[in-house]
Amino acid sequence: MSKKRKGTELNESRRVVGRSRPEAMVPATPPLAELPPDYSRLFEEVKRRIGQTRLQVTLAANAAMVLLYWDIGRVILERQQREGWGAKVIDRLSADLRQAFPEMQGLSPRNLKYMRAFAEAWPDRAIVQEPLAQIPWSQNIALLEKLQASEDRLWYARKAIENGWSHAILTLQISGLLHRRQGKALTNFTSALPPADSDMAAQVFKDPYLFDFLGTADPRREREVEQALVDHVERFLLELGQGFAFVGRQKLLEVGDRDFIIDLIFYHYKLRCFVIVELKAVPFDPAFVGQLNLYLSAVDDLLRQPEDKPTIGLLLCKGKDRLVAEYALRGLNKPIGVADWETQITTSLPENLQSALPTVEEIEAELQRREETPKARKRSARKKGGAR
């Protein structure tokens, strides 16, 4: 992963891992003892502002989506009342909308019917704007399904925002008839945002309806899969006990005006070389080879010591039906210079490396086992449920 970086700094004033070049370095985190006394206050203030602004932006997008859902539901409701539309129209509308917006999962016939019910339950758009548009769509569905009275739905919506309830907590409070125990008196509604550290705040960042609506769901899922793979591969390689020593994960690499993130870096003390692991939750792309080559060259240039062997790269990609593992191995078969390093993607290792590194087949088998384990658990759970 890479990002364009703006601005320049004097590298000699910064801590680095290994060596640094005028246009390339692996920054190291300085210890707190070297920082000004009020650094902690600065960190907390910046963290608070980032968290608050992220939440504001996400909830603004959520509000726009909920209001759009109300508008769609209102159009459907009016057409059904005026022209006698039936379920066939909703089914066709859903199919056409999903074809026009294939990345959105919130346009199913079921959800269109929820939109219609939402508009029918709240004829006044002004009421929807506050507070209903400030809670996730799944919570609005829960209010529709579990409560009949409008005043009860509003009471729980406001309480959800005030306390930052997740969907699970909201449904639990409804089941426990909290409104009867606390009283349904509606006070002036002042909470514009749920608490930043609340369950609702955490939930809205992962709301599948919202990220399908924004068209950002797939990249988020890819990152989640990649992070899970990073966790698993790190444990797998260390547990092999074949010489892997952990160096770092998600390591920042600055090259020119670009920032890159290396997924995993190990040092293999038997082979005397660094091993870079790069994971992609998408099918293989030739561009991955160039990216991995950059990482190999940078690690050799900045971290590798004179007695170390050339760095080895391990590339893991999501194939058509399974995760595919391949090693990128470097050769020194050309004259010395920037272009001397040759990186090639191969599916096997030279004989002198096979005893020290796990084979491609071993890695693929381990990753396949990781994918199959959750599926087996689900099948087992279904069997147990059916046997009751």
Report the distance separating Cα 254 and Cα 2, nearest Å. Answer: 9
Among 106-120, 203-217, 282-296, the range with the most confident prediction by mean pLDDT is: 106-120
What is the mean predicted confidence (pLDDT) over 301-320? 82
Of residues 143 and 206, more confidently modeled: 143
> Cα separation of 42 and 84, whole Å?
61
pLDDT at 28: 85
pLDDT score of 168: 85
Q: Span 37-52, mean pLDDT?
A: 91
Band of pLDDT at residue 140, cut at 50, 70 and 90: very high
* Backbone torsions φ then ψ of 24, nearest 5 degrees: -155, 140
Q: What is the pLDDT of residue 209?
A: 64
Reported as a single tens digit per residue, the pLDDT across 196-239 is: 556 666 666 666 666 666 555 455 555 665 566 677 777 767 66
Is the model's pLDDT at 172 over the cut of 70? yes
Domains defined for the chain, CATH in brackets: 39-215 (no CATH), 221-375 (3.40.1350)
- Cα separation, 209 vs 93, whole angstroms: 18
Please tell me the distance from the alpha carbon of residue 176 to that of residue 169, in angstroms, as a whole number: 10
pTM for the model: 0.56
Tens of pLDDT, residues 315-363: 877 664 555 666 654 443 322 222 222 333 344 344 555 556 666 666 6
111-126: average pLDDT = 93
Assign 187 a pLDDT band (cuts: 50, 70, 90): very low
pLDDT at 357: 66
The whole-number pLDDT of residue 105 equals 75
pLDDT for res 17: 86
Task: Check whether 32 has a pLDDT greater than 90.
Answer: no
Measured over all CA atoms, what is the biggest interatomic distance in the chain, rounded to whole angstroms?
Answer: 82
- The better pLDDT of the pair 80, 96 is held by 96
Q: What is the pLDDT of residue 388?
A: 42
Average pLDDT, the chain: 74
Question: What is the reported pLDDT for 254?
Answer: 84
Instruction: Quote the percentage of the chain above a pLDDT of 90.
Output: 19
Q: State the DSSP code for 191.
A: -
Residue 273 has pLDDT above 70, yes or no: yes
- Amino acid 369: pLDDT: 65
Q: Comparing 83-97, 355-369, 373-387, which segment has the lowest mean pLDDT?
A: 373-387
CB 167 within 8 A of CB 203: yes
334-343 as b/e: b if 16+ CB within 10 A: eeeeeeebeb
pLDDT of 178: 81
Average pLDDT over residues 86-94: 84
